[in-house]
Amino acid sequence: MAARIALYEAGAAPSFIEVDPKTKQTGDGADYRAIYSLGLVPALRTDTGELLTENAAILQYVAAQFPEAGLAPAGGLAQFQLQQWLCFIGTELHKGLFVTLLDRTAPPEAKSYSVAKGKSRLEFLADHLADREYLLDRFSVADAYLATVLNWSRAIPVALLDLQSWPALAGYLARMQQRPSVARALQEEYLLYTAELARHKSA
C-alpha cells in the first residue's frame, strides 16, 4: 500500500499484480516465489526489467524516478532524515510491533512483549508529530509508509493497542486518510483484501 500511495503521488502509471498471501500465486497465474523466493511484497519490476525489493528501497526508487513530485528531499541532512524515518518505520514499527500483533498465530505473550516494547516507539513518534503535519517538512514517501503501518492499528483489538492513546498519531492518521492518494490506495487495497477473504472462504 505504501508503494501504491507513492506511485499515485508521483502521477505514475504502474501496473499492479496481486499476490495471494496464502498461495503465493500472482493474479496473472505465476508462482510469486519463482519471482522473489521469500514471497514478500512489495517487489517492483523496473521499466528495464530489474526486480527491486524492500519497501524502503522501492519508495526511494519511486521518489527518485519522479523528482518533480517532491516525494523525497533532494539533498542535505533531510535526505538522511528520510532514511532515518524509513528505517524506524520498517524496523521499530512494522516488524517490531505490528507484524506480531497482526499475526493470528503469535502467542499472547509475544503480543504483550511487542506492545510493551512498541509503546516507547509510539510515544517517541507522537512527540515528533505533536506539532508537525508530516514526518519531514512536507509530505514524503516516509509518510506513505507510516500511514500504511498506522492504519493497521484498526485491525488490532483496542485492549491490545489503542491508537487513540496517542492523539498526535490518531490525528496524523486521520489527516493522511483524507489525502486523495491515501484514500484511493486504502479503498483499492480494502477491496482486494475482502475479495481475498471471500476467495479463501469459498475454497
Which residues contact ligand GSH by CB under 6 A?
21, 39-42, 54-55, 90
Nearer to ligand GSH, 90 or 125 (CB): 90
Smallest distance, ligand GSH to C-beta of residue 76, A: 25
How far apart are CB 154 and ligand GSH at their closest, in Å? 15
Angle formed by the axes of helices 180-202 and 141-151, to 10°?
A: 40
43 SS3 class: strand
Residue closer to ligand GSH by CB (options 21, 67) is 21
DSSP letter string over 44-113?
EE-TTS-EEESHHHHHHHHHHH-GGG--S--SHHHHHHHHHHHHIIIIIIIIIIIHHHH-TTS-HHHHHH
Q: How many residues would you count in the chain?
A: 203
* Residue 38: partners with Cβ closer than 8 Å, 6 or more residues away: 53
**Before 14, cis peptide (omega within 30)?**
no
Give yes or no for a contact between 85 and 146, defined as CB atoms under 8 angstroms apart: yes
* Contact predicate 70/54, CB 8 Å: no
**Alpha-carbon radius of gyration of the chain:** 17
- The residue among 17 and 40 lying less far from ligand GSH, judged by its C-beta, is 40
Min. distance of Cβ 68 from ligand GSH in angstroms?
A: 25
**What is the number of the residue whose Cβ is closest to ligand GSH?**
55
What CA–CA distance (Å, rounded) separates 84 from 8?
23
| Complex with ligand GSH: residue 42 or 118, whichever CB lies closer | 42
C-beta of 117: minimal distance to ligand GSH in Å?
Answer: 18
In the complex, minimum distance from the CB of residue 39 to ligand GSH, in angstroms, rounded to a whole number: 5
Closest contact distance (angstroms) between CB of 59 and ligand GSH is 9
